[in-house]
Amino acid sequence: MKRALALRHVHFEDLGTLAGPLAERGYAIDYVEAGSRLPAAEEALAADLMVVLGGPIGVYEEASYPFLAGELGLIGRRLAAQRPTLGICLGAQLMARSLGARVYPSGIKEIGWSALALSEAGRRSPLALLEDSPVLHWHGDTYDLPHDAVHLASTPACRQQAFALGRYALGLQFHLEVDSHRIESWLVGHACELAQAGLDVAALRGASHIHGAPLAERAGRVLHAWLEGLDEQA
């Protein structure tokens, strides 16, 4: 059985709707809780897939969260070895930073549901399945496109929404994985951020219930398409 190593920063931001498709393709999922246990380099490199999940901290906050330095080192080694890696939100930012790109506050909070604008490369990628389909955005940081990475998607508020490195690495600024049946955990867990941003919690909840199921169906298809590309490369 294949092994997927999921690096989790807050408990409710897990693999969500992507867990089922991973199991369907024969992956056993092992969660590693950030700040509690950092896998050894050999373990991280040996995993058939690493998924680096989201969280409410900044990549550049190593002074406050020293474990970030270890994460960056592991992610960098894995990408240098061209081992399959998927990053979501903070995970994509960690990938970008490990590749030498700048990660920094964007100056706005992009929180809510909206569609992506795909680049030409994005339309040729598995993300083509998301065209015209709203996805969940929940971030205040952004990143510069890493060297040799291919830009895949943007929104009016944030140019860098997705990038790829060959077939082996995919960084997503948006939340492909969110399970709308568990959105209440997100709303409670990020209550302070939502209040500071002046966002309407009821409206965000309502939009999640409208768009969540269609995104879950497409998210599974996106993941299957990307994993098929990995299988072809193997």
> Hey, what domains does the chain have and what are their CATH numbers?
2-233 (3.40.50.880)
Rounded Cα distance between 224 and 234, Å, is 15
Higher pLDDT, 38 or 203: 203
Rounded Cα distance between 44 and 46, Å, is 6
Token pair listed for 40:
């050894």
Token pair listed for 33:
């809780």
Q: pLDDT at residue 143 above 90?
A: yes
Would you say 116 and 154 are in contact if contact means Cβ atoms under 8 Å apart?
yes
Question: How confident is residue 232, by pLDDT bands cut at 50, 70 and 90?
Answer: confident
Q: pLDDT at residue 38 above 90?
A: no
208: Cα within 13 Å, side-chain hemisphere: 24
Question: How confident is residue 234, by pLDDT bands cut at 50, 70 and 90?
Answer: low
Q: Comparing C-alpha atoms, which of 101, 96, 73, 103 is closest to residue 169?
A: 96
Token pair listed for 158:
């944030």
Higher pLDDT, 229 or 112: 112
Question: How confident is residue 148, by pLDDT bands cut at 50, 70 and 90?
Answer: very high
133-152 mean pLDDT: 97
Neighbours of 37 (CB within 10 A): 10
Among 35-44, 56-65, 203-212, 214-223, whose mean pLDDT is lowest? 35-44
Rounded Cα distance between 166 and 150, Å, is 8
156-169 mean pLDDT: 97
96-110 mean pLDDT: 97
208-230 mean pLDDT: 96
For residue 213, what are the contacts with CB-CB under 8 A and spacing of at least 6? 180
Quick one: what percent of the chain has pLDDT higher than 90?
Answer: 94
206-225 mean pLDDT: 98
Would you say 218 and 137 are in contact if contact means Cβ atoms under 8 Å apart?
no
Token pair listed for 47:
């995993």
115 phi, psi to nearest 5 deg = -80, 160
87-115 mean pLDDT: 97
142 phi, psi to nearest 5 deg = -145, 180
Rounded Cα distance between 226 and 219, Å, is 11
Rounded Cα distance between 5 and 156, Å, is 33
183-188 mean pLDDT: 98
Q: pLDDT at residue 140 above 70?
A: yes
Give the pLDDT confidence score for residue 221 in this predicted structure: 97
Token pair listed for 20:
């089922």
H-state helical runs in 3-100: 19-24, 41-46, 67-80, 90-98
Q: pLDDT at residue 189 above 90?
A: yes
H-state helical runs in the chain: 19-24, 41-46, 67-80, 90-98, 120-123, 183-189, 191-197, 201-233
Question: How confident is residue 31, by pLDDT bands cut at 50, 70 and 90?
Answer: very high
CA torsion sign for 186, 192, 196, 202 is positive
pLDDT mean across residues, the chain: 96
Quick one: what percent of the chain has pLDDT higher than 70?
Answer: 99
Give the pLDDT confidence score for residue 35 in this predicted structure: 87
